[in-house]
Amino acid sequence: LAAVGPQPGSYLGKGFDACAAPSTAAMNAWQASSPYSAVGVYISGSFRGCSQPNLTASWVTTQTANGWRLFPIDVGRQAPCTNFSLKMSADPATAKSQGVTAAAAAITAASNLGIPAGSAIYSDIEAYTSTASCKAAVLSYLSGWTERLHSGGYLSGFYSSAASGIKDAASEYNSPAYTRVDHLFYAWWNSAADTNTGSYVPSTYWANHQRIHQYVGEVTETYGGYSINIDRDYLDVGTGGTTPPPATCTGANLSFTAYATVQSGSSGELVKAAQCLLTAAGYNPGSPDGVFGSGTATAARNFQSAKGLTADGVVGPRTWTALLARGATTTVQSGSTGEAVTRLQRALTAALGRTVAVDGVFGSGTGQAVRDYQSSRGLTVDGIVGSGTWGALQAGR
């Protein structure tokens, strides 16, 4: 028994963590109707808050085979400046050795559950009021944690409050005194499903798909008749799930709730997106300045002509659909994630004239949109986007 590849692997989208791993029946119900495709599980640490009757190697194999991503969490010693009963030493050298011990136990737990090397394991250090000595102890503990995980082939993650532990780690990001963790898992309950760290962490730190944001805490949600008390999380890990805009248009937003028609005289972010997409398709509209001038109109006409669309230089629903769908025609279906799903969701928003959530995760909403598109275009209605559906979208149908 083993998880399907390293965990959490590559994923961009919503997840949740719960004190106790839910039953497989609950996981199946949530997979069918919740917005989540990743789950945080407390695999180790003597300070875990719940027993884990469901958490077995068989459970891990079942969930990962069903498409869930797992992010394993260890809850062990806490900061020395807290009132918790289990604390790390205030002495940095001792704290580091305690981090090594914790990591060794976490590796054993992960291995026993079939969570393979290459996975990240997140050390949960709850919020604390930072002092210089407390920070030194925490970062020394994490150095030991990280070094031992690396020696076992695992990635190191660190969960804490954005305002304390995470801020402390960021303040020593380039310090040779500490070994930097690989992933951040930060609690900032601002209700924003994103990986923005505000003023707590510079945007250039842990910027390569190395972040999980716990954005809402302690809510009970019910799907398919199963209620679970959770924290809501948003993950951008591995290689993430979206492709950045072409280098010619870095900073352009390509995801909108609607793609209104733009033409000569139009201006704004939608025009910039159209210019970016035309450039990526090999048609040069000139500088992506957000102003629809003659260069953009010419590029649009040339693209339309190549696609067999009316070459009027106006970027309307059909042209938007063809531009947004352009790219690899990878088959995607329920449970798929990644760049192809992101493109699909944008293209469907344009083609159907209604908002399809763009999150890179093929959930029930995307599935319904695909079936609606297939039905309205005379395609086989199966909810699976293969060469036929991609071909129709890329032709601007």
Assess whether 179 and 277 both reside in one domain. Answer: no
User: Which of the four pLDDT bands, split at 50, 70 and 90, describes residue 348?
Assistant: very high
Q: Is residue 4 included in any domain, yes or no?
A: no
Give the pLDDT confidence of 45-97 residue by residue, as tens digits. 999 889 999 999 999 999 998 889 999 999 999 999 999 999 999 999 999 99
CATH of the domain at 157: 3.20.20.80
CATH of the domain at 286: 1.10.101
Q: Is residue 76 included in any domain, yes or no?
A: yes
Assess whether 137 and 187 both reside in one domain. Answer: yes
Assess whether 140 and 217 both reside in one domain. Answer: yes
pLDDT mean over 117-122: 95
Assess whether 184 and 78 both reside in one domain. Answer: yes
Assess whether 102 and 130 both reside in one domain. Answer: yes
Domain-terminating residue out of 237, 268, 284 = 237
User: Which of the four pLDDT bands, split at 50, 70 and 90, describes residue 187?
Assistant: very high
Assess whether 297 and 348 both reside in one domain. Answer: no
d(CA 121, CA 276): 38
Q: Kindly tell me if the per-residue pLDDT of 326 is higher than 70.
A: yes
Assess whether 161 and 277 both reside in one domain. Answer: no
Higher pLDDT: 365 or 338? It is: 365
User: Which of the four pLDDT bands, split at 50, 70 and 90, describes residue 244?
Assistant: very low
Assess whether 291 and 227 both reside in one domain. Answer: no
Q: Sort strands 120-124 and 155-161 into parallel, antiparallel or unpaired.
A: parallel
CB 264 within 8 A of CB 294: yes
Count structural domains, the chain.
Answer: 3
Neighbours of 7 (CB within 10 A): 30
Q: Is residue 231 included in any domain, yes or no?
A: yes
Q: What DSSP designation does 178 have?
A: S
Which pTM value belongs to this model? 0.63
d(CA 159, CA 355): 34
Residue 278 is part of which domain span? 244-312
The least confident of 137-146, 269-278, 282-291, 303-312 is 282-291
Domain-terminating residue out of 214, 237, 260 = 237
Assess whether 94 and 230 both reside in one domain. Answer: yes
Block residue for tokens 């909108």: 256
Domain-terminating residue out of 237, 263, 287 = 237
